[in-house]
Amino acid sequence: MNEQSKITAEHLRRCAIVYVRQSSTTQVEHNRESTARQYELAERAGRLGWRRDQVKVIDEDLGVSGSGLSERIGFAPMTAEVGLGQVGIVLGLEVSRLARNNADWYRLLDLCGLTHTLIGDGDGIYHPGLFNDRLVLGLKGTMSEAELHVLRARLLGGIRNKAARGELHRGSPVGLVQGDADGEVLLHPDESVQAAIHAVFDRFAEFGTTRVAVVPLARPALSAALQQPCRSPLGRPNLHKDPPGPHQPVLCRRLCVWLHPADMLSRCGRSNPKAHQTTRPRAVAGVHA
C-alpha cells in the first residue's frame, strides 16, 4: 500500500498538524537547519492534499525535551485534538520529535488508531490502525527511547571519566571566578562584590535564615557576579525565559550561593551546627506542651 492510498477523503476533511520540536535552547540556536526542515513539513502536507488553511504548525515545544520529564505545552493540545477526531495526519521530521518516551508515544498511537489519524515522518505515511504500520511505529518509538538512554549514558560516562582525572570544571559559584591556571579558582576581583558576599554569610550566621541573608544580593554591588551563568550543584544551567535584572536575584541565584559544592566544602566545620537550633518545644502528636 503506497502513501497516497492511505489518505482518504475523510482525512483530507480534517486538519493536518506539523509538530516542530528541538530538545534544548542550544539546539534551537545552533541547529537551525533541522528546525527549518521541520517547518518545511507544512509544504509536504500541501503536496499530500491538505489546503494551506488546514495545516497547523505546533512549535510551542521548541527547546523542550521529549523525554517525558518536562511539560510540553504543545504536545498535550495536539493529543487532545487527535482524540477528538479533528486531525487527519500528524507530521514530524522523525519519531523522536514527537516523543522520546514510550508512555507518550504509545498513548498517541492508541488515539491515532482509534480515530484513524495518520502519522507521517521522513520515511513515509503510517496508519496506526494497521498491524504492519503499528509494528513499525512501535519499533521506531522503542529505538527512539533507547537512543536517548545511550546518548545520556555516553555523556555521563565521559563526565565521570573526566572527574576521576580531576579535570572536570563546572561553573563557579557567585563571587568566585576561574583563574588563568588550570583548576584555579579566585575571588571576584571586585572588592564590593566580595564585601557583599561576606555580608550574606554574616547575616546568615546572625539570623539563621536565607530569606533575611540574601538581602545584600539585591544591591548593585553584585550586579557583575549575578550576570555570570547560574548553575545548580549538578552543573546544569538554570534557564529562564525572562531573566530578571541583576538587581532582582531569583531563588536559583540564591541557592547557588548556599548549595554550590565549592561553598559547602569551604565552609564545612566553620560554624557550630547547634548555634541556630531553637529551644522552642516541638509539638508531638498526642502530647501537649
What is the CA 142 to chain-centroid distance, rounded?
21
Choose among 130, 119, 276, 113: nearest CA to 209: 276
Q: Is 23 a catalytic residue?
A: yes
Q: Helices 102-115 and 75-83, interaxial angle, to 10°?
A: 30
Q: Which of 5, 23, 65, 67 is catalytic?
A: 23
Block residue for cell numbers 533575611: 212
Instruction: Print burial letters for 203-233: b (CB count within 10 Å at least 16), e (below 16).
Output: bbeeeeeeeebbebbeeebbeebbebebbeb
Q: What is the DSSP string of 242-285?
A: SPPPTTS--HHHHHHHHH-HHHHHHHTTSS-TTTT---SPPPBT
Mark out the alpha helices in the chain (DSSP H runs).
Answer: 3-6, 9-13, 25-30, 32-39, 41-48, 75-83, 95-98, 102-115, 131-164, 191-207, 210-213, 223-226, 251-259, 261-267
Measured CA to CA, the distance from residue 92 to residue 179 in angstroms comes to 46
Catalytic residues: 23
